[in-house]
Amino acid sequence: MSKPHKLEILLAWLEDNVAMGTEIIFDEGIYSGDVLPAVRAAVELLNMPKAVSHPPPWDAYYTCEAIDSEELSKDEARVWNMAQKYVQDTLQGRLAGKGR
């Protein structure tokens, strides 16, 4: 089972615990509701979309559904995709910048 899938299961489990009022105490003073935002953020980061180029003749422009801007320059798209890869590699336990 992949780490993203495990995190999604953990997220659903924590959300159910909080919704049902059966919070889990992870440590002194740390409850399910306290951990929930961090797990939710990790799941969202793992699902972060890549910037993609438009089809020709507009292939000099890029878009990304996570960014409000309608278009990105090639350099902006490159930086976005590098950041997206770094976050995914880090969260999945791979050394950033090393193969995929």
pLDDT at 12: 92
Q: Which residue has the higher pLDDT, 48 or 13?
A: 13
pLDDT at 65: 64
Q: Which residue has the higher pLDDT, 18 or 2?
A: 18
Average pLDDT along the chain:
75
Model confidence pTM above 0.85 = no
Closest alpha carbon to 79 in 100, 92, 62, 95: 62
pLDDT at 100: 43
> Over 60: is that where the pLDDT of 22 sits?
yes
Average pLDDT over residues 80-97: 70
Distance between CA atoms of 7 and 68, rounded to whole angstroms?
27
Contact 82, 96 (CB under 8 A): no
Q: How far is CA 16 from the centre of its chain?
A: 21
Q: Give me the helices (H) in the chain, please.
A: 3-19, 32-46, 74-91
